Amino acid sequence: MESKQDYLTRLQVVIERLHDCGANHRETVSIHEVFQGRTVWKGEVEVFDLYAHDKAKVCYGWSHPKGKGERLVVVLQVSPVISPETAVKNWIMADSQFSGQK
């Protein structure tokens, strides 16, 4: 089983490579997103401080099951994303829009 530190390192590497900047883990935030009385997402969001990025100072990341594997999701704190909660909400909206086109 993967350690929490290994997981954080994988997220950090994805953020740094994808956004061509540095990243340091700041904290873990538990999120429970409910829509019309039903849980649509529940999990932990990792918050990273960015350096040398021209548009954002923070990035949010988490793992999402995909088939038999996983998908690492990273979202920059750029309006309208202002918190871990809004990162998850915006990702849910974007993901549901694209999933209908597959």
Q: What is the pLDDT of residue 99?
A: 52
**Through-space distance between the first and last CA atoms of the chain, rounded to whole angstroms:** 32
Say how many domains are in the chain.
1
CB atoms within 10 A of CB 39: 9
Residue 85 pLDDT > 90: yes
What single-letter amino acid sits at 68? K
List, for residues 18-77, the tens digit of each pLDDT value: 999 999 999 999 999 998 999 989 999 999 999 999 999 999 999 988 888 889 999 999
Label residue 81 by pLDDT band (50, 70, 90): very high
What pLDDT does 49 receive? Answer: 98
Q: Is 61 exposed, middle or buried (0-12, 13-18, 19+ CB in 10 A)?
A: buried
Residue 97 — very low, low, confident or very high, per pLDDT cuts 50/70/90?
low
Domain residue limits at 12: 4-99
Are 78 and 87 in contact, with CB atoms under 8 Å apart? no
Answer yes or no: is pLDDT of 96 > 80.
Answer: no
The tokens 């390192």 sit on which residue?
9
Are 46 and 11 contacting, i.e. CB atoms less than 8 angstroms apart? yes
* 53 three-class SS: coil
